A and B are shown apart, each in its own frame.
Chain A
Amino acid sequence: DIQMTQSPSSLSASVGDRVTITCRASQSISNYLNWYQQKPGKVPELLMYAASSLQSGVPSRFSGSGSGTDFTLTISSLQPEDFATYYCQQSYSSPYSFGQGTQLEIK
């Protein structure tokens, strides 16, 4: 099974900051990497798929990059609504595993 490890596990930042979250796979997954945002008490929402493709309706301040084992999600200028938990998910092979999550908090 492929293990997904996110760093950091939590992060404090301010509105307007540029933030990067990292996700590492235990083996190469090409670009089969998706990112989700989950706000407290809410349903996860797809942000990015195929490592760098923006899901329809997602603001352009979100971007993704990476291939192989190392991936990043970047928020170029944090907005108040971006404070949430972010999960990566590999879709290269079953079982389709998620990272443990990165909780983004307001500084």
Chain B
Amino acid sequence: QLQLQESGPGLVKPSETLSLTCTVSSGSISSNSYYWGWIRQPPGKGLEWIGSIYYRGSSSYNPSLKSRVTISVDTSNNQFSLDLTSVTAADTAVYYCARQGYIYVNFDSWGQGTLVTVSS
């Protein structure tokens, strides 16, 4: 069964860059049928799509974050990554990576999530 696992620092200082990696196992990131996405959830709040990437490198981002977000893919290691620059306390959230269906853009498999706190 496909597994996704987020990794990265749990604490980031304001104005710095939040960097997370999602490792995909028991499945290939180089699939024609899926994109790979990042979604976040501030404590006690709802879900926000951050952006997604295809294994060939094409990506799309939420305009609300676009100027600060970069998502990249590393097919040799079956990983994709998120960089979010110039973070503030408003970026404190649980960050999930997920597999995204190509046709229906549904997130059908999720990582366990990682809490990233922005604080000095």
Contact of B46 (CB < 8 Å), options: A45, A87, A95, A96: A87
A55 at the interface (CB under 8 A from B): yes
> Would you give the shortest CB distance from A86 to chain B, in whole angstroms?
11
Stretch of B10-18, B81-89, B105-113 at the chain-chain interface: B105-113
> Would you give the shortest CB distance from A3 to chain B, in whole angstroms?
12
Interface residues of A toward B: which range? 20 to 34
Residues of A within 8 Å of B96, CB to CB, are: 43-44
Residue of chain B at shortest CB distance from A96 = B49
Contact of B47 (CB < 8 Å), options: A32, A46, A55, A98: A98
28 residue pairs of the A-B complex, CB under 8 angstroms, read A1-B63, A32-B104, A32-B105, A34-B107, A43-B96, A43-B110, A43-B111, A43-B112, A44-B47, A44-B96, A44-B107, A46-B106, A49-B101, A49-B104, A49-B108, A50-B104, A50-B106, A55-B108, A89-B49, A91-B104, A94-B60, A94-B62, A95-B49, A96-B105, A97-B49, A98-B46, A101-B46, A101-B47
